[in-house]
Amino acid sequence: MTELSGGPSLPQERRVATEIPGPKSQELWARKQATVANGVGAVLPVFAKRAGGGILEDVDGNAFIDFGSGIAVTSVGNSAEAVVRRATAQLNDFTHTCAMVTPYEPYVAVCEALAELTPGDHAKKSALFNSGAEAVENAVKAARAYTKRQAVVVFDHGYHGRTNLTMALTAKNMPYKHGFGPFAPEVYRVPVAYPYRWLTGPENCAKEAAHQAIEQITKQVGADNVAAIVIEPVLGEGGFIEPAKGFLPAIANFAKENGIVFVADEIQSGFCRTGQWFACEDEGVVPDLITTAKGIAGGLPLAAVTGRAEIMDAAHAGGLGGTYGGNPVACAAALGSIETMREQNLNARARRIGEIMKPRLEAMAEKYDIIGEVRGRGAMIAIELVQSGSKEPNPAATGALAKACHQEGLLVLTTGTYGNVLRFLPPLVIGEDLLNEGLDIIEAAFTTL
Ligand SMILES: *Cc1c(COP(=O)(O)O)cnc(C)c1O
């Protein structure tokens, strides 16, 4: 076995050694431009060499503090010990049989872990896939097979993926949908309780938004035509929107009363990210189905649909699956990732990260009135940027701040329907010194505006 150069052994120090991007990254960028489709963009055009803990090192020897985790994926850190150990052992045993041809134990073990970790004590089953979008598609397939209904209800600011059905489920046109239609039919979008932008104020938001959503479902679609309601308990690409308290339970109750399958898309918010195994636990919501991906396997491609056994069993044999879904190496990595989350109590780590980040960001919001709101929980934290003295979105400042952070060796991501949200998704294993150093860089970036 070759020696591990990234992962936990990587020095946990920020280093800006060259201009950003450096000369080697610029050379690679030229090669990328010549051969990789332009549709595949990049937030920060430096090329990765190694990563681990809270650091991502590039080919020019720059070491970035990682506030992105590859979009909430490497929550246990890159090349985490247990992930590498288990995936390597599996690589040496066999790489693929296709779970639909000859099954293997790691697939079953992941489904057992999902049954144990997801909310609710009802009988649960799972099916495994390669990507989040595929999981969401299959949740809809299971819900349709079970209910024998067709309509799917989704929400403003929602994001569910880039395949044809999940583009239809996704709210935002640019860049996800523009020019890529026609989209899948029988998809209906209703309001979500976005407290910061609710016109009559945050205190009325949960009740009014739930009322509007339910009115629209019953009057425009007909509750008994609806197979599934799909919602992210914290809306990720929409801008880390936490629906006002009371909204999720109201929608989940409505689903229950009307025989509609309630699907929590926890692909971004799940697996310790918000300080709970799943974000919906915060309000005691027990989804019928839950979709997971991103944080599940420490960087290897794996996704799952988990939920009530009778719903998951509604599809006929051979109706769910795929060539690679639940690949054994990805399953082994997931078992390593879950082992790490348990042993290092990463839920507590996520909450601690939130306790450090939020007060510091709130102090910045006192000083800089372009910070409209600081929100999120655990290690899923964001600031929404607005024009001075109004709530008008400020995507220009957001882009400039991200760029200023990148130049100083801090990898941050932007998000939001209006492109005006800076989001922070550090690996849950990041050291507190690096976390604070990253916050110092963000604070300094405001002075450059
Ligand atoms: C990322 C994401 C998806 C899509 O996952 P992919 O693996 O990119 O297909 C779906 N839903 C949510 C909430 C996500 O954040």
**Nearest by Cα to 337 from 60, 141, 81:** 81
Q: Are 446 and 401 in contact (CB under 8 A)?
A: yes
Would you say the CB of residue 267 lies under 6 angstroms from ligand 1? yes
Q: How high is the pLDDT of residue 3?
A: 66
Pick the CATH number of 23-76+345-448 from 3.40.50.970, 3.40.50.620, 3.90.1150.10, 3.40.50.1970: 3.90.1150.10
Mark out the alpha helices in 239-394 (DSSP H runs): 247-257, 309-312, 328-343, 346-367
Locate the domains of the chain by residue range.
Answer: 23-76+345-448, 81-343
Q: Is 158 in the pocket of ligand 1 (CB under 6 A)?
A: no
Asked if 383 contacts 402 with a C-beta cutoff of 8 angstroms, the reply is: no
pLDDT score for 279: 98
In angstroms, what is the span from residue 449 Cα to ligand 1's centroid?
Answer: 32
Mutate to test the pocket of ligand 1, among 69, 130, 268 (most ligand atoms within 8 A of CB): 268
Buried b (16+ CB within 10 A) or exposed e, 256-272: eeeebbbbbbbbbbbbb
Encoded tokens for 11: 């020095």
Total count of residues recorded for the chain: 449
pLDDT for the residue numbered 408: 98
The DSSP H or E segment spanning 403 is helix 395-407
Point out the residues of the chain with pLDDT beneath 50.
1
Is 267 within 8 Å of 241 (Cβ atoms)? no
CA gap 50, 9 in Å, rounded: 10
Answer yes or no: are the C-beta atoms of 142 and 305 closer than 8 Å. yes
- Cβ–ligand 1 distance for 136 under 6 Å, the answer yes
184 three-class SS: coil
In a 3-state reduction of DSSP, which class is residue 274? Answer: coil
Fold of the domain built from segment(s) 81-343: Aspartate Aminotransferase; domain 2 (3.40.640)
Interatomic CA distance for residues 141 and 320, integer angstroms: 8
Pure H helices in 161-216: 164-169, 202-216
CA distances (Å), origin 381, targets 262, 274, 278, 376: 25, 9, 15, 4
Distance 71 CA to ligand 1 centre (A): 9
Q: What are phi and psi of 126, to 5 degrees?
A: -135, 160
Q: Which of 129, 160, 192, 296 to mutate to test the pocket of ligand 1 (most atoms within 8 A of CB)?
A: 160
How far is the CA of 122 from the CAs of 196, 308, 309, 313, 425, in angstroms?
Answer: 36, 7, 8, 14, 32
Pocket test for ligand 1, best of 130, 267, 380 (most atoms within 8 A of CB): 267
Three-state DSSP at 291 gives: strand
Report yes or no: 51 and 66 within 8 Å, Cβ to Cβ: yes
CB of 268 closer than 6 A to ligand 1? yes
CA 358, CA 432: separation in Å to the nearest integer? 14
**396: part of which helix (H) or strand (E)?**
helix 395-407
Both structure tokens of 120:
């609710």
Residue 131 alpha carbon, nearest atom of ligand 1: 7
pTM score, whole prediction: 0.98
Question: What per-residue confidence (pLDDT) applies to 5?
Answer: 82
